[in-house]
């Protein structure tokens, strides 16, 4: 079976991970266009987006083989809609078509997927609801009833189409769309709302988000915290007007927040600031009972002094976090030390202990960290780990650091 046939077979199977591996190994443009059209017909938006990233171009002759924008919106998959809105396809998305798709998604979002499915199918059978990955970063729920399958991403589709049409949804509208999926911070509708609001970077939106800090509902607080964090994160202006306000809000918020998911989001926001004030707010949570909170601390600590070195409090916290019972926390702490300050012998020894960690990703991260600090112990550990797992770009990047270290070591 040739490479093109393997790629088409992977698309037909809906195996996005295998498609990514095949594209990374060989993105022959002769096969991409047909694979893209197949992915769209199968309503596999995530796969279609991957193919576009690697150069698929349906071209004028291929557009007729694709779904209409209205059909894509009906599916409830924002990834599929986004694929059809790509510049290589988007010329056919006239204002009238966008308006039709907007009205359709408003009906779905207003009625709710289950209610609309029952209305359309007339079935009284139980609805089968399954969490799925809609694109590389975001999820959705897929509902199946009476032979019809629909995802519940209509809120995200509505947000995207309104943006294209120039309609400005209010903070409250976008908040309520997100909160329809409360508890699913990775849900595509939640993410589309927080990202859009953060991109506005205006005082009105900032104040609306800050006001949620004291809301008794933890999901509203979580939504506000994410909007504030992303507002600062996305600000690339020289003035960076939200840096000071973000640090002020998050430093105070972290001391009194009781919900672990909200606290983790607040600490992630703090971790985007380097300095003693952010560190002082992070370190007390290194022993928090919930792993996501400890992980936020591990990722957020910085070597901010000059010359770069970890302070005593950060060093103590990182030593503790590198020995954490949770593998994700250990890996995050290793990563922070790897890209941190000078070669602290105690921190490097703690990282060396993790070279034979039971979790492979922790071991790979430790190897990379030692290589970045020109520590010879990385070489033997990399040999024991063997080659990177197929398709893991993260492992490839980490193990490449060992080869770079050996080059530095051996060059005249």
Q: Where are the alpha helices (DSSP H) in 306-359?
A: 312-322, 327-338, 345-353
Residue 278 in domain? no
DSSP letter assigned to residue 214:
G
d(CA 278, CA 246): 11
Residues 152 and 257 in one domain: no
Residue 19 in domain? yes
Supply the pTM of this predicted model: 0.91
As a whole number, mean pLDDT of residues 391-407 equals: 91
As a whole number, mean pLDDT of residues 320-328 equals: 98
Containing structural domain, residue 404: 284-412
What's the burial of 86, exposed, middle or buried (CB within 10 Å: 0-12/13-18/19+)?
Answer: middle
- Kindly report the backbone phi and psi dihedral angles of residue 144, in degrees, each rounded to the nearest multiple of 5, phi listed first: -125, 130
Mean pLDDT of the chain: 92
Rounding to the nearest 10 degrees, give the CA dihedral for residues 180, 186, 187, 189.
80
Residues 221 and 141 in one domain: no
Residues 323 and 412 in one domain: yes
Question: Which CATH number covers residue 5?
Answer: 1.25.40.20
Angle subtended at Cα 74 by Cα 38 and Cα 8, rounded to the nearest 5 degrees: 10
The total of structural domains in the chain comes to 4
Of 10, 40, 66, the residue that ends a domain is 66
Report the run of H or E that residue 343 belongs to, with start and end. none
**What secondary structure does DSSP assign to 259-289, as a single string?**
-HHHHHHHHHHHTTS-SHHHHHHHGGGTT-S
Residue 337 has pLDDT above 70, yes or no: yes
Residue 21 in domain? yes
Residues 45 and 162 in one domain: no
Residues 57 and 92 in one domain: no
d(CA 386, CA 79): 36
Tell which phi-psi region holds residue 147, choosing left (phi > 0), alpha (psi between -120 and 50) or beta. Answer: left
Percent of the chain with pLDDT over 70: 95
Residue 124 has pLDDT above 70, yes or no: yes
List 150's β-bridge partners, or say none.
143
Report the run of H or E that residue 128 belongs to, with start and end. strand 128-133
Residues 375 and 291 in one domain: yes
Of 66, 98, 123, the residue that ends a domain is 66
Residue 194 in domain? yes
Residues 253 and 320 in one domain: no
d(CA 160, CA 182): 20
What is the pLDDT at residue 239?
Answer: 80
What is the pLDDT at residue 58?
Answer: 77
How sure is the predictor about 1, in pLDDT bands with cuts at 50, 70 and 90? very low
**Tokens 């009625």 sit on residue:** 111
Residue 27 in domain? yes
Residues 193 and 89 in one domain: yes
What is the pLDDT at residue 304?
Answer: 77
Angle subtended at Cα 271 by Cα 365 and Cα 253, rounded to the nearest 5 degrees: 140
Residues 222 and 289 in one domain: no
Neighbours of 13 (CB within 10 A): 13
Residues 252 and 338 in one domain: no
List 143's β-bridge partners, or say none.
129, 150
As a whole number, mean pLDDT of residues 174-188 equals: 95
Residues 181 and 297 in one domain: no
As a whole number, mean pLDDT of residues 197-220 equals: 96
Residue 73 in domain? yes
Residue 110 has pLDDT above 50, yes or no: yes
Question: Which CATH number covers residue 305?
Answer: 1.25.10.10
Of 11, 42, 66, the residue that ends a domain is 66
How sure is the predictor about 219, in pLDDT bands with cuts at 50, 70 and 90? very high
What is the pLDDT at residue 89?
Answer: 79
Residue 279 in domain? no
Residues 41 and 83 in one domain: no
| Cβ contact 43:412 at 8 Å | no
């Amino acid at each position: 079976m040739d490479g093109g046939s393997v790629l088409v077979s992977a698309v037909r199977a809906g195996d996005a991970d295998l498609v990514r591996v095949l594209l990374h190994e060989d993105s022959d443009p002769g096969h991409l266009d047909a694979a893209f059209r197949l992915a769209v017909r199968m309503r596999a938006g995530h796969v279609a987006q991957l193919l576009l990233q690697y150069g698929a171009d349906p071209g004028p002759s291929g557009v007729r083989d694709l779904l209409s924008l209205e059909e894509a919106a009906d599916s409830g998959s924002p990834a599929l809609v986004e694929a059809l809105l790509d510049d290589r396809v988007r010329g056919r998305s006239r204002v009238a078509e966008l308006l039709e798709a907007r009205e359709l998604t408003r009906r779905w979002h207003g009625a709710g997927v289950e209610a609309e499915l029952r209305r359309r199918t007339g079935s009284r059978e139980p609805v089968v609801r399954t969490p799925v990955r809609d694109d590389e970063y975001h999820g959705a729920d897929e509902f199946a009833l009476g032979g019809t399958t629909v995802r519940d991403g209509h809120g995200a589709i509505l947000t995207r189409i309104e943006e294209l049409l120039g309609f400005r949804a209010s903070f409250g509208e976008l908040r309520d769309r997100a909160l329809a999926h409360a508890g699913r911070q990775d849900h595509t509708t939640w993410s589309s709302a927080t990202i859009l609001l953060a991109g506005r970077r205006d005082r009105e939106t900032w104040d609306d988000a800050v006001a949620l800090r004291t809301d008794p509902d933890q999901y509203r607080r979580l939504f506000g915290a994410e909007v504030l964090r992303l507002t600062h994160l996305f600000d690339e202006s020289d003035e960076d007007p939200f840096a000071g306000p973000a640090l002020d809000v998050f430093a105070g918020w972290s001391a009194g927040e009781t919900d672990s998911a909200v606290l983790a989001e607040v600490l992630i926001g703090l971790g985007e600031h380097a300095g003693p004030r952010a560190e002082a707010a992070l370190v007390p949570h290194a022993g928090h009972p919930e792993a996501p909170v400890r992980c936020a601390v591990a990722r957020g600590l910085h070597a901010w002094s000059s010359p770069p070195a970890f302070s005593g409090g950060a060093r103590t916290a990182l030593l503790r976090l590198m020995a954490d019972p949770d593998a994700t926390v250990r890996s995050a702490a290793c990563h922070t030390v790897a890209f941190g300050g000078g070669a602290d012998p105690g921190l490097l020894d703690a990282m060396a202990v993790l070279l034979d960690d039971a979790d492979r990703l922790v071991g790979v991260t430790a190897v990379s960290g030692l290589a970045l600090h020109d520590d010879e112990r990385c070489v033997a550990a990399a040999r024991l780990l063997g080659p990177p797992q197929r398709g893991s770009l993260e492992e490839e990047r980490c193990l490449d650091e060992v080869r770079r270290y050996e080059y530095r070591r051996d060059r005249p």
